[in-house]
Amino acid sequence: MSKIFVDACFGKETPYTPVWMMRQAGRYLPEYMKVRAEAGNFLNLCHDPKKACEVTLQPVDIVGVDAAILFSDILVIPDEMGMDLEFVKGEGPKFKDPIKTEADIDRLIGGEEAASKLTYVYDTIKLIKEQLADDKALIGFAGAPWTLATYMIEGEGTKTYNICKKMMYSDPELLHKILAKITEVVKLYMEKQIEAGIDVVQIFDSWAAAIEPSKYDEFSWKYMVEIADYLKERYPHIPIIMFPKGIPAFLDKIYGNFEVFGVDWSTPMELAREKLGDKYVLQGNMEPCRLYSKEATTESVEALQSVMGGKRHIFNLGHGILPDVPVENAKHFISECHRVSKK
Amino acid sequence: MSKIFVDACFGKETPYTPVWMMRQAGRYLPEYMKVRAEAGNFLNLCHDPKKACEVTLQPVDIVGVDAAILFSDILVIPDEMGMDLEFVKGEGPKFKDPIKTEADIDRLIGGEEAASKLTYVYDTIKLIKEQLADDKALIGFAGAPWTLATYMIEGEGTKTYNICKKMMYSDPELLHKILAKITEVVKLYMEKQIEAGIDVVQIFDSWAAAIEPSKYDEFSWKYMVEIADYLKERYPHIPIIMFPKGIPAFLDKIYGNFEVFGVDWSTPMELAREKLGDKYVLQGNMEPCRLYSKEATTESVEALQSVMGGKRHIFNLGHGILPDVPVENAKHFISECHRVSKK
């Protein structure tokens, strides 16, 4: 059975423009909160294929999105590379021993060995594929090497990225060594996700905007392109979505062999269409806080439809849905996307 | 005596391109840390004209910048509007009773009454002007109404701005009422700073990037322009610098009666010059983390000089200097700016 979401990723004409929401399997859903409470904590939920499968499917059933996205976290990779991930309540993810030296990098578990440890992810994917309707797509994902490296070097989330950036400007070779080692794991991790059954790949560069424009290719984009090339060569039928958040200043520098460019909400869709619309299908980009108001949601969906005209477009938010959004407003967003784009 | 910095703001030819650094009176200077320790805490330092004057002058003497910037904090305004500012160690600024309703807004102290309470700022300015060399300029500043409103509504710094944005999309009139009340105070506050002796005004919209492009004018820029118009009409000889951080996506929407546009580091200087260089003198924009390396600093200063050609340009960082930058690297930045631009 043909999947409208996969067709749309390849730029084929579809009966309506498909839609999903970043962080759609998340805290705004009471059903998610229940499963998460049963799991005890966020990391347990990632490690439990049955529960991770359950929360992956919830937004498909409850809000009616056209694609499920694997429930997991981008930081399972550094965790399985030996960095011992912890989620501290109210503070977010932490790594006790951040990467500081070449010896720290050498100690990290790399390549096939690290990717093979993520069996709970591949098991989750197999379970989801058994239960997901044939006409819905399953998106697998990974964090971009740069985004992962920021956590591995800073040891936690950061506002200033000053430790990473000190390395970027004072010892760029060390940073490249970390990025290269992560890239190898991400390639194999995504390959194994594909082998387990995902239909689409998304690479999230959540902290793209932390790098100055003239250095972005060198420290992030080229590694993302390397991953895309690796996958595209082996799995040309699996579309790839690249989402570098917050880089409207240099869209004309974007290149590479992938199908969909994820547009965040800081980038006007007109600008993205002008700079990238011929080369890539565009995904996005309603400002997630518009979900607080049905009127503001409809206004944005209609504006996006008017810019994109239902062509080479996938509706989405320009970043993740927030926990305090009413479920009925999320449903309204999905149904409005379908309404305005129906042919 | 003519001030090279003021001349440069008006686009006049100068013997070299002047330079200052955002947060130049700050924690990277041991001399600053000493005065701050004597003051007990950050807010005491803002309230003590003698000490605030001392730290304002330090970077002029120590690193050789061409302009001093008043040592203060943008949040003294909401504090004097009756919101009771507190700096919680390790957590940043807090307001106990954030603005939620129309009644909360009505209770705020407004206009002349609030602006008159900031005497410690005006006293600081007078002291600085007695001691600052005649050829150096003193920059006064305020936060943009939107940036101030985010703290007043959220009660503290925020990653998601979700309370403000819920208001923006669900009850925009309430948000406009807050913004208008803040705007009135900022106008009078800047007027009193000018009367006390500042040579240049800078309006910081630190959280400009939190607003989606299509709403930026409505909720922030138009209020900044209103402040600029008010001051320009009364004090045409005082140049105004506008610094909306992180809006490279829509520079072509920028308008208004002011002299200098502050370019943050996420915006390539080439793009800023192309979109705004004819209308405004451009200030900026070295990525502040380049200060960790002298080589990376020189590379950026030379690149900026090559883009701007020493015309209609003021050197600066693209955001504030970080506390762990070595002082000698800051000095290197200043001397490199002078070296490359000397005529």
Residue A7's H or E segment, with its range, is: helix A4-9
How high is the pLDDT of residue A343? 86
b/e burial code for range B35-67 (CB count within 10 A of at least 16 → b)? bbeebeeebebbbbbebbbbbbbbbbebbebbb
Tens of pLDDT, residue by residue over A278-327, are: 999 999 999 999 999 999 999 999 999 999 999 999 999 999 999 999 99
Q: Are strands B92-95 and A260-262 parallel, antiparallel or unpaired?
A: unpaired
| H or E, element range at A36 | helix A30-39
pLDDT (tens digit per residue) in B18-52? 999 999 999 999 999 999 999 998 999 999 999 99
User: Does the structure show a pLDDT above 80 at A10?
Assistant: yes
How large is the average pLDDT for residues A243-270?
Answer: 98
Q: For residue B2, what pLDDT band results from cuts at 50, 70 and 90?
A: confident
Interface contact flag, A209 B266, Cβ < 8 Å? yes
For chain A, what percent of residues have pLDDT higher than 90?
Answer: 96
Q: Choose among A233, A240, A136, A221: nearest CA to A179.
A: A221
The answer, yes or no, to whether residue A267 has pLDDT greater than 80, is yes
Distance from CA of A246 to the nearest CA of B (A): 9
Residues in chain B with CB shorter than 8 Å from the CB of A290 are 169
> What domain range is B237 assigned to?
4-341
Structure-block tokens of residue B191: 């007027």
Q: What is the mean pLDDT of chain A?
A: 97
Residues of chain B found within 8 Å of residue A287, distances taken between Cβ atoms: 165, 212
Distance separating the N- and C-terminal Cα atoms of chain B: 20
Which residues from B are below 8 Å from A26, CB to CB? Answer: none
pLDDT of residue B272: 98
CA distance A120 to chain B (A): 31
What is the C-alpha separation between A223 and A229, in angstroms, rounded? 10
What radius of gyration do chain B's Cα atoms show?
Answer: 19
CB atoms < 10 A from the CB of A159, how many?
9
Span A138-151, average pLDDT: 98
Amino acid symbol at B270: E
pLDDT at A304: 98
Preceding peptide of A285 cis, ω within 30°: yes
For residues A159 and A63, the model is more confident at A63
CA angle A214, A219, A225 (to 5 degrees): 105
- The arithmetic mean of pLDDT across residues B108-135, rounded, is 98
> Mind listing the pLDDT tens digit for each residue in B192-209?
999 999 999 999 999 999
**Interface test mutation site (partner B, options A174, A207, A212, max chain B beta carbons within 10 A):** A212
* pLDDT bucket at A33, cuts 50 / 70 / 90: very high
Alpha-carbon dihedral sign for residues A93, A98, A104, A105: positive
The chain B residue lying nearest A210, using CA atoms, is B266
Alpha helices, DSSP H, located in chain B: 4-9, 30-39, 42-47, 49-62, 76-78, 102-107, 111-116, 119-131, 145-154, 162-170, 172-196, 213-216, 222-234, 269-276, 294-308, 327-341
Note the Cα A303 to chain centre separation in Å.
24
Note the pLDDT of residue B135. 96
B23 a catalytic residue: yes
pLDDT (0 to 100) of residue A274: 98
Q: Give the residue numbers of A annotated as catalytic, written as ranges.
A: 23, 27, 36, 73, 151
pLDDT score recorded for residue A89: 80
Q: Is the pLDDT of residue B94 over 90?
A: yes
Question: What per-residue confidence (pLDDT) applies to A124?
Answer: 98
Choose the catalytic residue: B28, B32, B122, B151: B151
pLDDT band for position B343 (cuts 50, 70, 90): confident
Give the chain A residue whose CA is nearest to the CA of B318.
Answer: A212
The Cα-based distances of A168 to A150, A252, B107, B240 in angstroms read 11, 23, 49, 34
For the stretch A88-134, pLDDT in tens is 887 889 999 999 999 999 999 999 999 999 999 999 999 999 999 99
What pLDDT sits at residue B90? 79
Q: Evaluate if residue A1 carries a pLDDT over 80.
A: no
**Is the pLDDT score of B1 beyond 80?**
no
Residue burial B77-87, b: 16+ Cβ < 10 Å; e: rest: bbbbbebebbb
Helix, strand or coil, per DSSP, at residue A274: helix
DSSP reduced 3-state for A110:
coil
What pLDDT score was predicted for residue A2? 87
- Rounded to a whole number, what is the distance in Å from the CA of B162 to chain A's nearest CA? 7
For residue B38, what pLDDT is reported?
97
pLDDT digits over A173-225, tens only?
999 999 999 999 999 999 999 999 999 999 999 999 999 999 999 999 999 99
Residue B83 pLDDT > 90, yes or no? yes
Q: What pLDDT, on a 0 to 100 scale, did the predictor assign at position A50?
A: 98
SS3 B98: coil
Number of domains present in the structure of chain B: 1
Q: What are phi and psi of A140, to 5 degrees?
A: -100, 165
Give ∠ CA B233-B236-B238 in degrees, rounded to 5. 125
DSSP state of B320: P
Note the pLDDT of residue B185.
Answer: 98
Q: Cα-atom radius of gyration of chain A, to the nearest Å?
A: 19
Q: Taking CB atoms and an 8 Å cutoff, what residues of chain A touch B271?
A: 249
Residues B144-171, mean pLDDT to the nearest whole number = 96
What letter would DSSP give residue A264?
P
CATH number at residue A25: 3.20.20.210
pLDDT tens figures, A82-93: 999 998 887 889
